[in-house]
Every structure is written in C-alpha cells, then in structure tokens.
Homo-oligomer: A and B are copies of this chain.
Amino acid sequence: MTTREEQKEQRRKLIISKALELFVKKGYSDTKIGDIAKAADMSIGLMFHYFESKEQLYEELIKMGAEGTNAPKEMNFENPLTYFSGFLDMLFSYAKEQPWVLYLFVLMAQARRSTGIPAHIREIALGVNQVEQSAGIIEAGQQYGYFREGDPYALSFAFWSSVQGIMEQLAVSPEMIEKGQLPETDWLIDIIRGTKA
C-alpha cells in the first residue's frame, strides 16, 4: 500500500519519464500534452494537476539535464583522452540499460540548437556547453601529442557535434541498440586523436 505522497511522487516520475522520451523523439512542439497524458495513461486534466504547464514540465527536464550532463566536469582522468573516451563509454553503456541518460543528453543538445523553445529555458541548456570547455582540454593536450593538429575549438566542435548526431539518431533507432550495432568509442575518439601508429 502506497501513501499519497509516494503515489504523487511516482506519478510525477512517470510523467517525467514519458515526457522525456516523447520530447526527444518528436521534439518539443510536436509533443502534445495529450501525447504525454496518453503515454502516462491519465487524463489531460490530471497532467495539469502535477505540472502547471507543458513549458514548466519541459523546464524541469532541462534542469535535470543541466545537472546530469555536467558530470564529466568532475571526472578525473589520467590523460586528457580518457576525459572523452570515459564520457563516451558511459553514454554507450547507459544506452542499453538506462536510455534516459542518453535521452537527457539528446534533450539538452536539441534544446541548445532549437529556436522553437522558450528563450529562458534555452538559456539553461546553453549554459551546459561541452564545446567550449573541451576546446581548452584539447588545446592543452595538443602540446603533448594527445590530440591531432588543428584549431582546438573546431576539433571540439566536430567531436561533440558528431557525438550529438549519433546519440540523436540512436535515440530513434532502438534496433541499432538491440542488435548491438553501437559505434565504438575509438571510432569517435579518432576524430580528435587523429592517425597514430
């Protein structure tokens, strides 16, 4: 038997999780409140009992993502390459077990790019931008030969945009995950590492 508080918390989590999946797969505007309600098996009216608006629900997800995807900042690593490979390994391993981690990553990327999203929410997503930070790591690492030659910012941009493209596609291609046809970490690392012996 669940108490009312627990019940409420579970409901909220259910909505959050269904909404996340839908937002990622259909985008913010194409995800209708009705879609979420149906996915969570409840009336539209009830949705508004738990979240005051579609926008606020979306904002809550973005805030979760803002915390979650900040993780790598705190990771410590032996050499700068493992900063990147470690993050990718995590993402790929979660892709199978806990797709919501992957979904959150994709959600953030979409929010940063899409202009159809309420400005103040987009700001939050833009605050978490791996490109800038990684450019610094790449620049430093280039001196020791960890990374290939080239504009550090452009390298960082290429790497993260690629990761984003792959994750976005994976999010709507469950069969790739089931079949075990996930890209390998090294393939992507080679974008920034370049050709080594």
Contacts and interface: CB of A to CB of B under 8 A. Distances in A.
Interface of A: 25-27, 29-30, 113-116, 148, 150-151, 153-155, 157-158, 161-166, 168-170, 172, 176, 181-184, 186-188, 190-197
Contacts of A154: 176, 181-184
B176 A157 contact: yes
Contacts of A182: 154
A72 to B, nearest CB: 18
A161 B166 contact: yes
B113 A26 contact: no
A69 B170 CA distance: 22
B158 A27 contact: no
A168 B169 contact: no
B181 A157 contact: yes
Contacts of A184: 150, 154
B161 A26 contact: no
A166 B168 CA distance: 12
A162 B186 CA distance: 14
A140 to B, nearest CB: 18
Contacts of A193: 195
Contacts of A158: 166, 183, 187-188
Contacts of A181: 151, 153-154, 157
A188 B194 CA distance: 10
Given A161-B162, A190-B194, 10 more contacts: A26-B115, A113-B169, A150-B187, A153-B181, A162-B188, A163-B165, A164-B165, A165-B168, A193-B195, A195-B195
